[in-house]
């Protein structure tokens, strides 16, 4: 840039240009604030909220009498949870006392079923997707307040562990 062909250019300007270009190259390559090297760190924290959801709750709209003169119904529940310790689900009888109602698991994933107050507690011990097929049997065959044509009497409540 500063050669003899450019005799009109002041030697001081050439010197300034050379110093400026060298200093710029050094600053971009290795110099940080106060002469130290430049570095940075980023801390990312992802928080996944605990979730327990009933994805499906299939049951008859109305109870019917079986050929054996019993009130029996099947319910299919699909529950999803991302909680490591699993979930609990309470089933409560809105119509008759719990002593007139029996529940058993007839298919799907294994869960713990415990009688509790006016219903049952179902607990799964891991995270993931659960499919439960439950059989409800209302005893005796014609308990007070329960009969054919009665709307579904069971209420489902989720509990997080």
Q: What is the pLDDT of residues 88-101, one digit of tens each?
A: 999 998 775 545 78
Q: Does residue 53 or residue 139 have the better pLDDT?
A: 53
Q: Are 124 and 109 in contact (CB under 8 A)?
A: yes
Say whether pLDDT at 23 is over 50.
Answer: no
User: How confident is the model over 101-116, as a mean pLDDT?
Assistant: 92
Provide the CATH number for the domain formed by 52-160 in this structure. Answer: 2.60.40
pTM, whole model, 2 decimals? 0.65
- The pLDDT score that the predictor gives to residue 88 is 92
**SS3 at position 93:** strand
Q: What is the pLDDT of residues 56-83, one digit of tens each?
A: 999 999 877 777 777 888 999 999 999 9
- The pLDDT score that the predictor gives to residue 37 is 65
The number of beta carbons lying within 10 Å of the beta carbon of residue 40 is 4
Residues 6+ apart with CB under 8 A from 93: 100, 101, 118, 119, 153, 154, 155
Any idea where the domains of the chain sit in the sequence? 4-35, 52-160
- The pLDDT score that the predictor gives to residue 127 is 92
């Amino acid at each position: 840039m500063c050669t003899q062909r450019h005799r009109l250019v002041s030697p001081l300007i050439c010197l300034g240009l050379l110093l400026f270009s060298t200093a710029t190259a050094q600053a971009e390559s290795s110099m940080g604030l106060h002469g130290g090297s430049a570095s940075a760190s980023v801390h990312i924290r992802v928080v996944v909220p605990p979730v327990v959801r009933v994805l499906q709750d299939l049951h008859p709209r109305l109870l019917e009498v079986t050929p054996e003169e019993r009130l029996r119904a099947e319910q299919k529940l699909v529950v999803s949870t991302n909680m490591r310790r699993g979930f609990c689900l309470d089933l409560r009888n809105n119509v008759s006392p719990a002593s007139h109602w029996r529940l058993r698991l007839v298919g799907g994933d294994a869960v713990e079923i415990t009688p509790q107050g006016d219903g049952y507690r179902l607990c799964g011990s891991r995270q993931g997707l659960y499919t439960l097929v439950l059989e409800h049997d209302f005893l005796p065959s014609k308990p007070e307040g329960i009969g054919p044509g009665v709307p579904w009497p069971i209420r489902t409540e989720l509990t997080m562990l």
